[in-house]
């Protein structure tokens, strides 16, 4: 298939293949109710369930959720430890249901700083679901887009050195770097709740050609209706990938 025909096909998609979500607004949601921030994070778990069910129903292939950025360690200590406990709990309590629904779970990010028991819980959950062929659910914890790119290049270098080869910069190309990222699939639709129009060091490489939908809804209020609006917005966009509108609509060069 020619490159333009490939872009035309991508432009005709009504359901995005890969949706990434920046789940923002938990703290504000809790503040509005006079509660501590962790209350909002806990309420956010229900929105995660809704988002995963919706993605499965719609036939979305990959859903990547930004749960904790490499910069979120700067938050107050009790919020950070509350969040880590919540992830650990959610991982164990939700994994069986994910497995029953053929969801394949992957935690992306730098896990070198996590406790041994947390790393084990992650690996157990990933192992249990690794052969599932439904939705791929990536949960980004201690993740940063810049880290992901640097890490991909480090992995490439390590593989070359394992093969006894010296590093040759000419081997670097987009496909090779993509393949070594934590989540190699390009994002089609990025959703951000909480109203801010920022990427916040999320999937920097993978977001190159994604459509972006920002909702003012705070994450604990995120539901199927908001997700559906985002998908409809995506379907209405003309995706050009650097080509002209005529090329994408008519196939002219």
Per DSSP, the residues of 180-193 read TSSS-SPPSEEEE-
Continuous segment of H or E residues that includes residue 140: strand 136-143
**How many Cα neighbours within 13 Å face the side chain of 105?**
24
Q: Is 162 marked active-site?
A: no
Cβ at position 198, least distance to ligand FPP in Å = 11
Interaction between residue 139 and ligand FPP (CB under 6 A):
yes
Interaction between residue 160 and ligand FPP (CB under 6 A):
no
Are 225 and 191 spatial neighbours (Cβ–Cβ below 8 Å)?
Answer: no
Only segment of 85-93, 110-118, 163-171, 227-235 that touches ligand FPP (CB under 6 A):
85-93
Using CB under 6 A, pick the residue from 19, 20, 25, 135 that binds ligand FPP: 25
Helix (H, G, I), strand (E, B) or coil at 14: coil
Per DSSP, the residues of 57-87 read HHT-SEEEEEEEETTGGGS-HHHHHHHHHHH
Interaction between residue 182 and ligand FPP (CB under 6 A):
no
Tell which phi-psi region holds residue 80, choosing left (phi > 0), alpha (psi between -120 and 50) or beta. alpha
Q: Is 168 marked active-site?
A: no
Cβ at position 50, least distance to ligand FPP in Å = 11
Residue nearest ligand FPP, Cβ-based: 27
Interaction between residue 214 and ligand FPP (CB under 6 A):
no
Catalytic hit among 11, 17, 31, 72? 72
Per DSSP, the residues of 208-230 read TT-EEEE--S-GGG--HHHHHHH
Catalytic hit among 24, 26, 142, 188? 24
Interaction between residue 90 and ligand FPP (CB under 6 A):
yes
Only segment of 9-17, 50-58, 62-70, 106-114 that touches ligand FPP (CB under 6 A):
62-70
């Amino acid at each position: 298939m020619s490159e333009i025909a490939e872009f035309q096909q991508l432009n005709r998609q009504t359901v995005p293949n890969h949706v990434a979500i920046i789940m923002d607004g938990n703290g504000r949601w809790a503040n509005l109710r006079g509660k501590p921030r962790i209350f909002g994070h806990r309420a956010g778990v229900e929105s995660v369930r809704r988002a995963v069910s919706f993605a499965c129903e719609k036939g979305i292939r990959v859903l990547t959720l930004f749960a904790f950025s490499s910069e979120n360690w700067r938050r107050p200590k009790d919020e950070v430890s509350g969040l880590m406990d919540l992830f650990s709990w959610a991982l164990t309590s939700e994994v069986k249901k994910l497995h029953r629904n053929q969801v394949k779970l992957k935690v992306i990010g730098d896990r070198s700083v996590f406790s041994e028991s947390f790393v084990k819980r992650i690996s157990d959950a990933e192992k249990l679901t690794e052969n599932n062929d439904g939705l791929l659910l990536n949960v980004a914890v201690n993740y940063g887009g810049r880290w992901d790119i640097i890490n991909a290049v480090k992995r490439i270098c390590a593989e070359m050195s394992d093969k006894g080869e010296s590093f040759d910069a000419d081997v670097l190309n987009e496909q090779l770097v993509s393949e070594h990222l934590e989540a190699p699939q390009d994002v089609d639709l990025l959703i951000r709740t909480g109203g801010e129009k920022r990427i916040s060091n999320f999937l920097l490489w993978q977001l190159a050609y994604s459509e972006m939908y920002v909702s003012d809804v705070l994450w604990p209020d995120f539901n199927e209706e908001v997700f559906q609006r985002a998908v409809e917005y995506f379907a209405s966009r003309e995706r050009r990938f650097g080509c002209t509108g005529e090329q994408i609509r008519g196939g002219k060069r």
